[in-house]
Structure formats: C-alpha cells, structure tokens
Structure 1
Amino acid sequence: MAQTPHTIGNPLSWAAQRLSAAGAHVSAATRELGTDHAHTPRRVRTMAMSDISESLRAGWEDFKACRSDVLFIVLIYPVMGLLLMGMAFHQALLPLIFPMAAGFALLGPMAAVGLYEMSRRREMGLEASWRDAFAVLSSPAFGAMLVMGLYLIALFCAWMLTAHFIHQVTMGPAQYESFGAFLDQVFGTPGGWWMILLGCGVGFVFALAALAVSVISFPLLLHRHVGAPVAVMTSVRVLRKNPKVVLSWGALVAVLLVLGSLPLLLGLMLVLPLLGHASWHFYRRAVA
C-alpha cells in the first residue's frame, strides 16, 4: 500500500510547528543548566588572523550549500525593514533609528543559532537545509540558549534607553519635521556632534560587552551542551587569549553589517547568513 507523501509547508508554518514541539523540551532544557557536565571547562585555542578569512571562506561554502538566505528573507529581513520604516515615519522616534540599526548587532549571535545548526550538520556530513535551522528548538541546550538570549535582549534594551538619554542630554527634547531636518540638526549643530561622539563611545562599550560573552557562546552551547555559565566564561577566555583576533572579528562583523544595511537593507540578505555560518567556523577554530 502506497504511503501518503510527507510534505512540508512554507518556512513560517514549519517554524510554528517546531516552536510548538519545543514546549515539551523546555523543562528538560532548563535542567541542563545545572548538570555536572555543564561545569566542565573547555580548552581555548590560540588563534591567528588567518582564522578570520578561513571562517568567512567556510561560511560562504555553507551559505551556498544551504541557501540559508531563505531563512532571513522570510523571517528577519522584513521584520527589521518594517521596524525601521515605521520609525522613519514617526517623528518622535527619528533619533532612535540609528541606535536600533546598530543595536541589532547585539542580537546577532542569538538570531543566528539556526545557522549554527546548519553548519554543524554540514560539518558532520549530514544533509542541511533551512528546515534544520529549527532543530535548535528541541536541543538539550535550548534552556541555556534562552538564558543567553534574554541577556542579549536586556543589553539591547539598555542600549536603546542609553541612546535615548544621550539624545536628550545633547539635543534636548527636540521635535523634527522630517528625517532631513533631523540630519541637519545632527551634523549641523555642536549638540549633534556631541551626540555622535558620546553615542559611538558608549555604543562601543555595549558592543564589547556583547562580544565578550557571546562571541562563541551560542555555538558552544549547541555543540557541547556545557551550560550558560561555562559558555560565557569560555567566550571571555577566548577574548582574553586572542584579543587582536576577536576584536578584529567584531570590527569586521560591524563593518559588514553597515555595508549590508546601506542599500535599503537588501545587502543583509547576503551578509547575515554569511556571518552566521562563518561564526560557527570561528567558534570551531577558537575552542577545542
């Protein structure tokens, strides 16, 4: 008797199914945070600058093989675009457009967990597609990744509040008639330049905090199930042992995100999946 072929719907319906199934794993995933093996330290490797280019090369190969651009086109790119467009038409929120765009980099490690899974499967010689990106929802490390994700979300919210405070201090409670008028005030007044300088300086501190605790945390959680505390400590140790390489990696990520955002965010359809896959290979070169 012939079996009815199994079909899979569009990415959104598939994601909904995986999210629903993940509910059964939450309690077990949370217990993962306190297990004994979660406290086992990982060995950190000494890295070279060539590891950055090799990670990007391997990430590009994963990108071509997995076509993970579908995941970001369907889920992330429209959400980011709609949020930014909505803010652009809301005069009271004009000063937060750039902080929000820059702040998305803080959430990048969390948003890319599905891409790490796809790269992990390819490394093991298994078939990988966008559907496999949602396997992280049933991972034993899902609870620990939730904890890390909440930390990054809190960091993002703190950055947005800080950016708003900086604008209030330097520019005052100003109202702008248009986006062009806002840019004139930013680049044509002393207060605007103070806002740029303070914003970039404080933003660097937030970016460094996010980089230190998450540069390899999410891939490590997915790969080794070590628990959130060990993942964070290992990430910090990677930065301390390889400051030049890790800071260069962070700077490269920031530059690529800016370049990808310039043509109406269209470049992010390429940049985000590439960086997500490359981050997995960067982790593999950083931790034994």
Structure 2
Amino acid sequence: MLNDRNGPPPPDNPHAAGVIPKVVPPLPTERPLAKDLPWRTAQTWLKAGWSDLWTNPVPSLLYGFAVFLLSALVVWWLFRLEFDYALFPALAGFMVVGPLIANGLYEKSRRLETGERTTFAQMVLVHPRSGRAGLMTGVLMLGLFLLWMRAAVLIYALFFGMVPFPGTGEIVPMLLLTPTGWGLLLVGCAVGALFAAFAFAISVFAFPMLLAEKTDAMSALGISMAMVWHNRRVMIAWGAIVTALFALSILTLGLGLIVIFPLLGHATWHCYREVRGPDVEKHEDDRMFLRPA
C-alpha cells in the first residue's frame, strides 16, 4: 500500500513533515495598456487641441459650425414633430454620438502630425483605415443612443405616469419644485451617467483607432474600454473636462459648440496618441476578431 511507506517524505512535497511552504509574493502582472499618467495630463491634451484648432482654423471652425447647425436642426425637428419631451434626453445623449461625428477633427490632427494642410472637404470626406468597420461602430453607438432615449421615456413614465408631456415651459418647474421631479432628476441623472460613462469608455479611443489602425468594430470598442480602465485616473479627469465644456456649450444655446466641439475633437486625438502610443504596427496583435494576414 502507498500509505505504508516508512521512508522519508519526497523532497517535492512542501507539506511533508509539517513544513510550511514559504510565502512567495505574486509575480508582477503585465499591464501594457497602463501608462500611469497623472490627471494633469488631461490639461496638456486640451492645450494641444487648442493649438490644432488655431492651426489653419477655418476648417475646424466650419466643422464646429456645421455641428451647431445640425444640433439646431435636430432641436427644431423635435419641436416641429411635437417630440419636445425628448429634448433633454437628446441633449444628454449628444455625448454618446459626439465621438462618431468628430472623425474629421481627428483627421486634421493626424495630418498636422505629418505637416500636411487639411481642407474642410478632406475633413468631411475622411476615409478611415478600417473602412466599413467605422460604419458598423457608428451603428452600434446610434443603437446605444436610441436605447438611452427609450430609457429616459420609461423613467419619465415611472414617475409621472402615462400622461401627456406638459411642455418645456412647465416641465422645468415640475422637475425643480416638486418631490416627484426631484426623484426623476436623481434617477434620470444616475441612469444617464451610467449610459454616458459606458459610451465614453467604449468610444473615446475607438473612433481615432478606426481612423488610424486596421481593426474591426468590436475590437476597437473593447480595446477602448480596456484603455480607459487601465488609465482611470487621467481618463476620469478627461471625462470631467469634456462634461464641463459640453455643459458650457448648452448654456450658450449651442453656440459654444462652434469652438468647443473642434477643441474637444482635436484634444481627443492627442489623448488617443499618448495613451495608445505612436507605434501603430505593434498593436496589430491586439485585435479580437481581426488578425493580420
């Protein structure tokens, strides 16, 4: 029988003869996506974006003006079709689709790195290196935006019931001067913050990545989230800057978008460049679904 052995314990058994194994510290975990950037780095991205904005400023300002006109058209359309109940969710959801329509700004910043001059037409008719994967990513982000709009309508119905929307002139006093309105604001802001944080994490690096790298939609979204997670400190600071500047643009009735949107678009490119790294080729093996030939 094996249990009848009377000889010394085998040397490879650390628990033999009551010997306690040594405590060995865990091996260091490799974190290739972590850059350990201080939160102040977000300010340098903003300064770099400001520099890109005023280097050949006309195309960037035209781009911002086009975004302002598009936003104004959407607001007019909501009132024209009596969908004014969706105004506030649509304004909040702008942060979900914002990275999608900033591709032209990323393109200008990319060209500035090589000393090229960019026209407005080149910004509008940009050709991402990933091709149709950018379209697929845009569809996914639009789906997330529609999901947020539906969630906002359901939250309103849970607090005020299935009653007609009172109009923008009466909804503000209802929200600010009634306990039910306070509850709606609290829950709505909490749910909206979750949507915004998720959208920010999966898209902030995804669209610049699709422009500069050969990848697929799901890989870009997943890698973007991983990059945000491994650089949480600086990305929280960057998200706070984006939110504050977007709120400022709303307070100016959208006119601030003419300058603020190009500023954030250019700065996001520098954010991507620093966190992702300038060497695109070494990232070819990061793909989840697309492998290089």
Give TM-score scaled by structure 1 length: 0.79
| 2:63 equivalent in structure 1 | 71
Q: Which moved more, 1:169-178 or 1:212-221?
A: 169-178
| 1:271 equivalent in structure 2 | 260
Question: Which residues of 2 match residues 86-101 of structure 1 at below 5 A?
Answer: 86-88=77-79, 93-101=83-91
C-alpha distance in structure 2 between counterparts of 1:202 and 1:129, whole Å: 40
Distance 1:107 1:113, change over 3 A: same
C-alpha distance in structure 2 between counterparts of 1:66 and 1:107, whole Å: 26
Q: 1:116 aligns with which of 99, 103, 106?
A: 106
Q: Which moved more, 1:75-84 or 1:112-121?
A: 75-84
Deviation string for 1:173-197 (max 9, x for gaps)? 3335542212121112222111111
- Structure 2 portions without partners, runs of 5+: 1-31, 278-293
Contact 1:63 1:273 in 2 (8 A): yes
Q: 1:84 aligns with which of 54, 60, 75?
A: 75
The secondary structure found in structure 1 opposite 2:252 is coil
| 1:200 equivalent in structure 2 | 189
Contact 1:51 1:285 in 2 (8 A): no
Could you tell me which amino acid in structure 1 is paired with residue 48 of structure 2?
A: A
Contact 1:186 1:193 in 2 (8 A): yes
Q: Which moved more, 1:47-56 or 1:104-113?
A: 47-56
C-alpha distance in structure 1 between counterparts of 2:166 and 2:80, whole Å: 10
The secondary structure found in structure 1 opposite 2:132 is helix
The alignment status of 1:159 with 2:151, answered yes or no, reads no
C-alpha distance in structure 2 between counterparts of 1:180 and 1:103, whole Å: 21
The secondary structure found in structure 2 opposite 1:57 is helix
Q: Which moved more, 1:236-245 or 1:105-114?
A: 236-245
Aligned residues: 245
| 1:224 equivalent in structure 2 | 213
The alignment status of 1:104 with 2:69, answered yes or no, reads no
- CA positional deviation for 1:139: 3.3
Deviation string for 1:254-288 (max 9, x for gaps)? 11111111122111111101000100000011112
C-alpha distance in structure 2 between counterparts of 1:188 and 1:223, whole Å: 49
Could you tell me which amino acid in structure 1 is paired with residue 67 of structure 2?
A: I
Q: Which protein is bigger by CA-based radius of gyration?
A: 2
Distance 1:123 1:133, change over 3 A: same
Contact 1:87 1:94 in 2 (8 A): yes
| 1:132 equivalent in structure 2 | 122
Across the aligned residues of Structure 1 and Structure 2, the Cα RMSD in angstroms comes to 2.0
Contact 2:33 2:226 in 1 (8 A): no
- CA positional deviation for 1:144: 1.3
Distance 1:206 1:254, change over 3 A: same
Deviation string for 1:146-204 (max 9, x for gaps)? 11111110000000000000001111233355422121211122221111111101011
Q: 2:232 aligns with which of 237, 243, 261?
A: 243
The alignment status of 1:147 with 2:136, answered yes or no, reads yes
Contact 1:95 1:167 in 2 (8 A): no
C-alpha distance in structure 2 between counterparts of 1:147 and 1:46, whole Å: 32
C-alpha distance in structure 2 between counterparts of 1:179 and 1:78, whole Å: 21
Q: Which moved more, 1:236-245 or 1:271-280?
A: 236-245
Identity between Structure 1 and Structure 2 (%): 33
- CA positional deviation for 1:76: 2.0
C-alpha distance in structure 2 between counterparts of 1:189 and 1:139, whole Å: 49
Q: Which moved more, 1:180-189 or 1:116-125?
A: 180-189
